[in-house]
Amino acid sequence: MFALKIASVLFLIFVDSILCDNYKVPDAKLEAIYPKGLRVSIPDQGFQLFAFHGNLNEEMEGLDAGQWSRDITKPKNGRWTFRDRHAQLKIGDKIYFWTYVVKGGLGYRQDNGEWTVTEYVDEQGNHVDPSQ
């Protein structure tokens, strides 16, 4: 009987770990705002918190806080958004980052993010050609 109880507990722990580990944080959308700025966002999926940590042109060392380190506590227009209005980004710059969300009281990370600036957008997300 004792062995059956142990097996049942181990089974429940195994199932719980599978269910908890299956959630995947949505991919972050990074945008270089012209003439200056950075916007990072994910769709709202019922989170209680969204955190962005990143560096410009410098790889992250594990879970470093980074040059950018901000917790966002509420979504806006259906997205959780980090915004730096002073970032001076150039075509070819790389942003190394990780994100973190709290969903249903549990925390989940997306690690080892890397994004290269290939274009600029305006505040509304429309493509901008700075040469014009």
Model pLDDT, residue 27: 97
Residue 25 · residue 101 · CB < 8 Å: yes
The whole-number pLDDT of residue 21 equals: 60
Q: Locate all alpha helices (DSSP H) within 22-111, ordered by sequence.
A: none
Closest CA to 41 of 31, 56, 33: 31
In the chain, the amino acid numbered 5 is K
- Could you tell me the domains of the chain? 26-128 (2.60.40.2140)
In whole angstroms, give the CA distance from residue 58 to residue 97.
10
Q: Render each residue's pLDDT in the chain as its tens digit; 132 residues.
A: 544 444 443 343 443 444 556 899 999 999 999 999 999 999 999 999 999 999 999 999 999 999 999 999 999 999 999 999 999 999 999 999 999 999 999 999 999 999 999 999 999 999 999 888
* Burial profile 103-112: b = 16 or more Cβ within 10 angstroms, e = fewer: eeeeebebee
Peptide bond into 75 cis (omega under 30): no
